[in-house]
Amino acid sequence: MKALFVAGTGTDLGKTHVACALLEAARARGMRVDAFKPVVSGFDPEAPDQSDPARLARALGRPEAWREVSPRRYRAPLAPNIAARLEGDTLKMDDLVSDCRDWLSRRDVDLALIEGAGGVMSPMTDTATNLDLMSALGLPVLLVAGSYLGTASHLLTALEVVRARNLVVAAVVVSESLDAPGLDQSMALLRAFEHRAPLLSAPRASCWTASALVDALV
């Protein structure tokens, strides 16, 4: 089984957009896939179909499975630890790591994705970040960046801290940011600085498929 951690250089950059496209492209090749987002905030239980867990579930071909995709769901669109506290809950890194390991141990698929919340250094608990979860799991990282002005600094910083934890960056995907410099321009800039991992682009166009990403990763 190929397992990856999908991380972002920041929040709302397109991690789920990329993860869904990767799952769909892998399924189109006959691969068995699954996805897990251990905690999600900004979840509206009155409109679950609009949530990241629901999007991932649809990409799996199991739209009813969003509860399984994200077992820890909180309403407030805030950092998970704060959103959890508002509902009387306390997130602990040991629990999140245990959730992910247990989920992985029960998968019998060709490709399994675990998607983080927010950016690499976004808080997950009161004392730990996404990077701490990534480090504990030790999975290869699919790092998603935007194409906005300033993305080079954010991406290169994320690459430094991820690799400083001895994590392998399996690929970098630049997800097209709206109202930003051209995607091709951003790609050319980033290719001048990143030479170790495959660097691919993810246009927002509905016709985009992640076939090249499957080739690079699986």
Each residue's pLDDT tens digit, 75-134? 999 999 999 999 999 999 999 999 999 999 999 999 999 999 999 999 999 999 999 999
Q: Which CATH architecture has domain 2-217?
A: 3-Layer(aba) Sandwich (3.40)
First to last CA, the chain: 9
pLDDT at 133: 98
Buried b (16+ CB within 10 A) or exposed e, 85-98: beeeeebbbeebbe
Is pLDDT above 80 for 170? Answer: yes
Catalytic sites, residue numbers: 37
Spatial CA neighbour of 43 closest among 87, 106, 13: 87
pLDDT at 111: 98
Q: How confident is the model at residue 183 (pLDDT cuts 50, 70, 90)?
A: confident
Task: Indicate the pTM of the whole model.
Answer: 0.95
Give the span between the Cα atoms of 168 and 7, in whole angstroms. 12
Is pLDDT above 70 for 206? Answer: no
Mean pLDDT of 160-182: 92
Domain-wise residue ranges, the chain: 2-217
Is pLDDT above 80 for 205? Answer: no
Is pLDDT above 80 for 168? Answer: yes
Q: How confident is the model at residue 185 (pLDDT cuts 50, 70, 90)?
A: confident
Q: How confident is the model at residue 208 (pLDDT cuts 50, 70, 90)?
A: confident
